[in-house]
Amino acid sequence: MTWQQWLVQASDRLTASPNPRLDAEMLLGQVAGIGRARLLAFGDTLLDEAHCTQLENLLKRRVRGEPLAYITGEWEFWSLPLRVSTDTIIPRPDTECLVEQALYLMLPTKAEVLDLGTGTGAIMLALASERPSWRLTGVDINLGAITLAYDNAVSLGVTNVLFLCGNWFKPLRFQATRYSLIVSNPPYIDADDSHLNQGDIYFEPKSALVADNHGIADIAAICRDSGKYLQYRGWLVLEHGWQQGAEVRALLAQAGFIHITTVRDYGDNERVSLGQWVHS
C-alpha cells in the first residue's frame, strides 16, 4: 500500500472527524517521521508492514475519538511545538488571546511573571519566547504536568523559566517575590456541563477542567489571593468560560482590581478578563 492509498482509506474511516484528511495526514506523518508537504510530494512511497501495523493502531484510537494531540504526543501553540500528555489539557487557539493581552501590557523590561496551572507550559513558554528578558515561574499541582512543561522548555531552548509543583499560590508562601503579571487558564467548567462527555474534552483530565461552584471556584480563589503576590500596578489576566465574563469582572472588582476589562476570543465570545492591582 502506498502513502496515498493509505490516506484515502484512512480518511474514509474517520467519518466522525471534522477534517478526516488532515487527521490521516498527521497520523501518517507521525509514523513516517516527515511533514505533510513531503507526504503529498511522495504519495507513491510504499508502506512497510511495521508502519502499516503502527498506523492501524493509531487510526483505531482516532476513530474512537481520542484527540490527535494525545495520539501524536505533540501539539502546536503560538507556533511552538509542545509535547502533550494526558496529564494536561490540550492547548487551544483561543488561549492565544490571553498571551496577546499579556504582551500588550506595559510591563518592566525584566518583569517577574507567574503562570498558575501551567499545564504544558504553553502560556509561559509563548510569553518567554516573545520576552526573553522576563523571568517566568509556572505552578501546577500535577507533577506530571510540571515534568512535561520543563521538558518543553528544554526542548525549545527556553531558559528564563522556573517550575514549581503545588496548588495555586502554596509553593510561593515562603518567598518574597512580587510579580508584575499573573496569568492563568484555570479550571472553569461546571461538573454537570454536558460538554465534558463530548469530543476531545472527554479524554482530558477533569482536574484541569472542572471547578466547584458552577466552575467559578478556582477563578474566585485566584482573584482573592493574587493581590498578595502582585507588585503595585501589576496585572492579573485570566481565561474563563464564555458565559463567565460578568462574574469574573465582579470578582476582580471585589478583590480590589481596577482597569478591569474583558476581551473576546476568535469566536467572538468573552474569554479573557484582566485587571490592575494598585495597592501596596
pLDDT at 39 over 80: no
Where do the domains of the chain lie?
A: 3-65, 85-277
pLDDT digits (tens, 9 = 90+) for 52-78: 899 999 999 999 889 999 999 999 999
Architecture of domain 3-65: Orthogonal Bundle (1.10)
CATH number for the domain whose boundaries are 85-277: 3.40.50.150
Give me 223's grid cell: 482573584
Residues of each annotated binding site for substrate = 185-188
pLDDT digits (tens, 9 = 90+) for 96-150: 999 999 999 999 999 999 999 999 999 999 999 999 999 999 999 999 999 999 9
Residues of each annotated binding site = 117-121, 140, 168, 185-188
Residue 73 vs residues 12, 30, 53, 76, 90: alpha-carbon distances, Å:
24, 9, 18, 11, 10
pLDDT digits (tens, 9 = 90+) for 166-212: 999 999 988 888 999 999 999 999 999 988 988 888 999 999 999 99
Output 52 or 161, whichever has higher pLDDT.
161
Residues of each annotated binding site for S-adenosyl-L-methionine = 117-121, 140, 168, 185
Q: How many CA atoms lie within 13 A of 212 on its CB side?
A: 4
